[in-house]
Structure 1
Amino acid sequence: MNLVANIDWDRWAAPALHGLRIVLILVIAWISIRVLQRAVRAVRMRVERRMGEAEGTGRAATLGRVLRYLIAVVVGTVAIMLVLGELGVSLAPILGAAGVVGLAIGFGAQSLVKDYFTGFFLLLEDQIRTGDIVTIAGISGSVEDITLRHVRLRDYDGNVHFVPNNLITTVTNMTRSFAFAVMDVGVAYRENVDEVMQVMRQVGRWMRADEAYADLILEDLEIAGVESLGASSVVVRCRFKVAPMQQWTVRREYLRRVKAAFDDQGIEIPYPHLTVYAGVDKKGDAPVLPLRMARQAANNGARQPAA
């Protein structure tokens, strides 16, 4: 009893109070992190159920992972600062040094910081999804993975490209909502263009009636008209409105069927050729083409003995 009475309670009251505050700060920080991260998971699951798409699920999972990481960093940093304050450590020098160090790191890692900011907004604005066919930084391919650091693409040849997000200034997404399968068909100058267009429309109707392509083609064939007068052909442009990522499949099949239909109708798809024009004089008479070299070569071949 005398030992208990001799304890200097005033001496230990302040350290005990600081220790209790430190424990309380850590407990509150831990609870806050768990609650906020659970809230992020709940929102992510609700978004995934509402979207019901693999692409949307991947985007929500990536954003959820980023938000959970940020919550842990922010809450943990605040808790550490409060604990240091309870221990009597002056925060002003630490904050000043952190500012200087952060400034140096910022100058030395500008591209890395830009990677993270660009990657975050790519995900937040839903510019790219996993599985999309895109062109970024001059590289085209299928998106296999998106992180805050880079986008992983696989091109048609199977090559994998890792594109840092800080290099992405323009995103060309070829598989969002719908696409157009654009075809340029060249025919000979002697063909009737109106008849050619009629055959092209008929092939388009056959494709839409085909069960294998009915779900891929969203609208009837649209013929823009004569696109250009080439060196050896008249080019007619047309297009289908198709489901996402199906423009290449529809284009290849349509060109195959157009080739078969043109063969049946006797419509010529010409090879590139050159027409030699000798010219005419003032009376309208064409001069005789000099074939001296060809005749000489033929005569030389005739003189050679048989082997």
Structure 2
Amino acid sequence: MFWSAAPAADATPTPTPSTPTPLKDAQESATNAAGWVQENWSTWLSIGLRIALILVIAFVLRTVVRRAITKLIERMNRTAQAVDGTALAGLLINAERRRQRSSAIGSVLRSVASFLIMGTAALMILSTLQINLAPLLASAGVAGVAIGFGARNLVTDFLSGVFMILEDQYGVGDSIDAGVASGEVIEVGLRVTKLRGDNGEIWYVRNGEVKRIGNLSQGWATAGVDVQIRADEDLEQVRALITQVGVDMAKEEPWNERLWEPIEVLGLDAVFLDSMVVKVTARTMPGKALGVERELRWRIKKALDEAGIRIVGRPLDPDLQPEDAANPATTTTVAAPSALSNPDSPQSLATTPIPPPATPPVQK
């Protein structure tokens, strides 16, 4: 009995371990992922909220700063427009110049504010994501140095333009001498200034190339006139006539606004043998000196003509020929005496042509 039962017991199959299936692997992966998400969702939510808060604050701050700058520029423009049309407008910067200057300053300030705010926000977001900023900052520093060496002229032009606008060295409508070119300013930029020359040409001057600037339109200008009269004229009478011309001119428009001080007779500027030069000056509005000089010459000439005082020209250049010499028709010349004018003189006889020898008669 016992021998026969043992083999029967041994014949029962032993259970084998079950083989894994793809469905079970997917279930396990999903369970692990769900567990990992459940463990880290709070961290992700915290990081997302920080990033969202940083972005919201950055955009709000950027919008507020840009609007504040825009309102400041608009207030400056309204102040300039309120002054225009009054007697004080001639003493201040014109509206176009102030508008362009304020627009350029506002553009620079808005760009700088946006760069600082958004750049700081980007660095804070990277720090929130636990990204090491040291290599990034080092690379940015190297790139900045490379760009600075490669584009140093552009950086120089930009910085020069910024300081030029902030310091109000010149503006639209000013007549300036920039060294490399001179003329009237028609446009002011952060990199290039446009000038219109005396002949109508337009000069594009880079701000970084300007080493000195002579502004002929700021403060006040001086109009100078030289009156050359004969040496035997009465100087006191000439002084009185010119002074009266200045008084009458200062009472008329638009010269009453362009003349800032009474016309002054400085005295004799030069004395020649047959003439003398009287110097006359006047302080005028910037940029109006040439017009005042032309009008002043016109009025002085009329006043002196009415008083019978002649205005003479400057001494002639000795290198120039007189008008009679330039016109042969009006020039009378006398020939120098010559011995050849007497036909009996030895010189005339010596120059008498020798008659040809007589030809012998032809024999037939």
Q: Does 1:160 align with 2:202?
A: yes
Q: 23, 29, 32: which one pairs with 2:58?
A: 29
Shift, 1:46, TM fit: 2.1
- Amino acid paired to 1:26: L
Shift, 1:155, TM fit: 2.0
1:32-43 superposed matches below 5 A: 32-43=61-72
Q: Does 1:225 align with 2:285?
A: no
1:4-83 superposed matches below 5 A: 8-52=37-81, 53-54=94-95, 55-83=97-125
What do the CA deviations read for 1:197-246 (whole angstroms, capped 9, x no partner)?
22221221221122342222222101222223468742222222222322
Partner-residue secondary structure (3-state), 2:333: helix
Match of 2:234 in 1: 192
Q: Is the 8 A contact 1:132 1:175 kept in 2?
A: yes
Q: Is the 8 A contact 1:232 1:270 kept in 2?
A: no
Normalised to the residue count of structure 1, the TM-score between the two structures is 0.81
Partner-residue secondary structure (3-state), 2:62: helix
Q: 127, 134, 137: which one pairs with 1:85?
A: 127
Q: Is the 8 A contact 1:232 1:273 kept in 2?
A: no
- Amino acid paired to 2:333: A
Match of 1:282 in 2: none
Identity of counterpart residues, as a percentage?
A: 32
- Amino acid paired to 1:208: A
Q: Distance in 1 between matches of 2:287 and 2:334?
A: 57
Match of 1:107 in 2: 149
Q: Does 1:209 align with 2:245?
A: no
Larger-Rg structure: 2
Match of 1:246 in 2: 288
Partner-residue secondary structure (3-state), 1:215: helix
Distance 1:198 1:296, change over 3 A: closer
Give the 4+ runs in structure 1 shifted more than 4 A. Answer: 3-7, 230-233
Match of 1:174 in 2: 216
What do the CA deviations read for 1:235-263 (whole angstroms, capped 9, x no partner)?
22222222232211111111112222232
Match of 2:308 in 1: 266
Q: 325, 334, 339: which one pairs with 1:298?
A: 334
What do the CA deviations read for 1:100-120 (whole angstroms, capped 9, x no partner)?
121122222222222122211
Match of 1:126 in 2: 168
Distance 1:107 1:6, change over 3 A: closer
Q: Distance in 1 between matches of 2:275 and 2:147?
A: 61
Is the deviation greater in 210-219 or in 99-108? 210-219
Q: Distance in 2 between matches of 1:244 and 1:69?
A: 34
Distance 1:109 1:232, change over 3 A: farther
- Amino acid paired to 2:135: P
Q: Distance in 2 between matches of 1:129 and 1:149?
A: 14
Q: Is the 8 A contact 2:231 2:272 kept in 1?
A: no
Partner-residue secondary structure (3-state), 1:297: coil
Q: Distance in 2 between matches of 1:177 and 1:298?
A: 64
- Give the number of equivalent residue pairs: 281
Q: Distance in 2 between matches of 1:138 and 1:265?
A: 47
Shift, 1:66, TM fit: 1.0
Distance 1:108 1:236, change over 3 A: farther
Which runs of no fewer than 5 residues in structure 2 stay unpaired? 1-30, 82-93, 319-330, 337-364
Shift, 1:192, TM fit: 3.3
Normalised to the residue count of structure 2, the TM-score between the two structures is 0.69
Distance 1:188 1:296, change over 3 A: closer
The CA RMSD over aligned residues, in Å, is 2.8
Distance 1:13 1:231, change over 3 A: farther
What do the CA deviations read for 1:139-180 (whole angstroms, capped 9, x no partner)?
222211111112111123211111111122322222224322
Q: Is the 8 A contact 2:104 2:189 kept in 1?
A: yes
Match of 1:280 in 2: none
Shift, 1:36, TM fit: 0.4
Q: Is the 8 A contact 1:25 1:82 kept in 2?
A: yes
What do the CA deviations read for 1:23-62 (whole angstroms, capped 9, x no partner)?
2222211111111001111211222223435132322221
Partner-residue secondary structure (3-state), 1:181: strand
Match of 2:189 in 1: 147
